[in-house]
Amino acid sequence: MAKAPGQSKAAKPVTDKPTLLSGGNPQIAKGYGDGPVQAYIAAMPDWKSDVGRLLDALITDTVPGVYKAVKWNSPLYGIEGEGWFLSLHCFTNYVKVAFFRGASLDPVPPGGSRQKDVRYLDIHEGEEIDEARFIAWVKQASKLPGEKM
């Protein structure tokens, strides 16, 4: 059927759910503050959203006044004016926590990186999170020089 002049294609239905990129990572617009981070966490698929809420609460409780943003479809945590110390990212089978100065943490997080200072913690479905160790890493990381991005 031909379209009448000036008639556009049918509009896409509007949904409140963000697009999930490859691996199930939510596509969230760049933004600063708690709002974009909470939108990212709410959009994390399945069990990953529970992990995101827990990690966000642990970070927020450990570092009062922590600065938050979403950049490159990943929540970032840092000290305002000092830089970022940690980020989260969803993959198909796990949530990756990146400590930007992780090589300086004690003990060093288990996941290596091609970047000499970065270390990762991968959290898979059903895994118990060692909250005490995570909190210790966050405390240490928040006191190190942050990444400027």
pLDDT string in tens for the chain (149-residue length): 444 444 444 444 444 667 766 777 788 889 999 999 999 999 999 999 999 999 999 999 999 999 999 999 999 999 999 999 999 999 999 999 999 999 999 999 999 999 999 999 999 999 999 999 999 999 999 999 999 88
- Flag whether 15 is in a domain: no
* Residue 90 covered by a domain: yes
pTM: 0.85
Number of structural domains, the chain?
A: 1
- Rounded to whole angstroms, the Cα distance separating 85 from 22 reads 25
The CA distance from 65 to 75, in Å, is: 16
- Of the candidates 28, 39, 25, 40, which has an alpha carbon nearest to the alpha carbon of residue 94? 25
- Continuous H helices in the chain: 34-43, 48-62, 131-143
- Rounded Cα distance between 118 and 135, Å, is 17
Show the tokens assigned to 92.
């198909």
Domain that residue 58 falls in: 22-143
Query: Does residue 7 lie in a domain region?
Result: no
Domain CATH number, residue 57:
3.90.1150
